[in-house]
Structure 1
């Protein structure tokens, strides 16, 4: 049994959990929460960065980050399921995933600024820089939402998790001024039961 080191609210963990369900790997992956603040947390030995998600394989090796884990899950599921085989489609999916992962990184940094630094130490220019990344990403995605295919790929999964995390941590404010993304989100949620099943 593989072990997914996780946290219920992590959008990057949610990416992996959605893929696990979509690929029918539920019976091969055990979820195990990690305490990212504990110095004795085994995750720090499993992933020297101390970050989630990390997938501990049956032979004890560990894979990280979410992009590597999704690639591995697609591989063991036969390949070409959530990472397209066609060259153009593959790199479109991977580029969309990179854009959404970058925006999620920025969102997490904004959350951490409030969580780990007292208010008087907040650096507004830093927060503005991260918020700018998210705003540009959402605007680009609103201008050209990806087509939702019968089997969503890694880019689609990452986009759904980005929007879900904005709902969770930023009061659904992304929906203002992004009607095409709003429609895309709702269509993804209706088409992919794993999205609702993995909601934090």
Structure 2
């Protein structure tokens, strides 16, 4: 299999972490691409030309990150990242949506500023408010979680962890760890889990936080 990835994308990092969590690292070739150049191999596999995109051994393409993680679970014959059914599945998918949504809002905020929108303009304020509400929700969740809850992270935890890594790398001025101590402690434990450490080793900084791009 081939994973078209980027060292700066939290969504691609989430998939890389999933690959390690599922023990599939020897079966997936990770290919970092410049998605802004619309590389032909990505366009041919994904009409949206976004990363991450996974090309299966049989030529089947999978996208976006949430679908890829489901697919990898099928390949590995494991539901450790996304439970097969029931409320447990719903809760993992909800947490994954929250983590991805925080990354979405943060990336859009940066895009608005790059386009010349002032930080205090309505569109930018709305995106940052979404990030802050998301962090507040995660703080409540962290306070209620068991201390060993990150020992075997699911897709929701991976999504949240990669979103927090992006905030560390691109929004250091937020100082979110000081505002959300339970979440910061949870994140520190998650960063020590093997699949998160190994996915971070492919980032430019070589540390737990990562950068941003497409889903």
Over 3 Å counting, the alpha-carbon distance change for 1:75 and 1:127 in structure 2 is same
Q: Does 1:134 align with 2:157?
A: no
Contact 2:38/2:49, CA 8 A, preserved across alignment: no
- Map 1:74-85; keep pairs closer than 5 Å: 74-85=73-84
TM-score (norm 2): 0.84
Structure 2 portions without partners, runs of 5+: 204-215
Does residue 176 of structure 1 match 2:178? yes
Match of 1:182, SS? Answer: helix
- 2-side partners of 1:39 and 1:197: how far apart? 27
Please state whether the residue corresponding to 1:83 is helix, strand or coil. Answer: coil
1:159 aligns with 2:156: no
Q: What RMSD over aligned residues (CA atoms) do the two structures have, in Å?
A: 1.7
The structure showing larger relative contact order (alpha-carbon pairs under 8 Å, at least 6 residues apart) is: 2
Q: Are 1:188 and 2:190 matched, yes or no?
A: yes
Structure 1 contact 3–29 (Cα < 8 Å) conserved: yes
TM-score (norm 1): 0.90
Q: Where in structure 1 do 4 or more consecutive aligned residues deviate above 6 Å?
A: none
Alignment-derived partner of residue 91 in structure 1: 90
**Aligned partners of 1:30 and 1:77: how far apart in 2?**
16
Quick check: 2:53–2:65 contact (8 Å CA) kept in 1? yes
The answer to whether the 8 A contact 1:83-1:90 is kept is yes
Q: Distance in 1 between matches of 2:38 and 2:161?
A: 32
* Match in the other structure for 2:28: 29
Residue pair 1:34, 1:41 contacting (<8 A) in 2 also: no
Q: What SS class does the counterpart of residue 79 from structure 1 fall into? A: coil
SS at match of 2:26: helix
- Ranges in structure 1 where 5+ consecutive residues have no aligned partner: none
3-state SS of 1:55 partner: strand
After the TM superposition, which of the residue ranges 121-130 and 44-53 deviates more from structure 2?
121-130
